[in-house]
Amino acid sequence: MNWPNWEAFWAMGGYGLYVWGSVGAVLLFIVAELVGLALSRRALLDDIRHDIRSESHRTP
């Protein structure tokens, strides 16, 4: 695949809207997945910290 200029590259032979729309959708989903993972990790670590604190305050 060799394009004579950048305009032809972005147009992708008339399929640029589909190609770049798909690339954008995939990137959006990847970012959403990373954000979701970060939020889940934060919630899990908060739960672990809470459990550790409640264990340390428990009397034998």
The DSSP string of 6-53 is HHHHHHGGGTHHHHHHHHHHHHHHHHHHHHHHHHHHHHHHHHHHHHHH
If you average pLDDT over residues 9-35, what whole number do you get? 96
Do 50 and 57 contact (CB within 8 A), yes or no? no
If you average pLDDT over residues 10-26, what whole number do you get? 95
Q: What is the pLDDT, as a whole number, of residue 60? A: 61
Question: Which residue ranges make up each domain of the chain?
Answer: 16-53
If you average pLDDT over residues 11-38, what whole number do you get? 97
Question: 32-50: per-residue pLDDT in tens?
Answer: 999 999 999 999 999 999 9
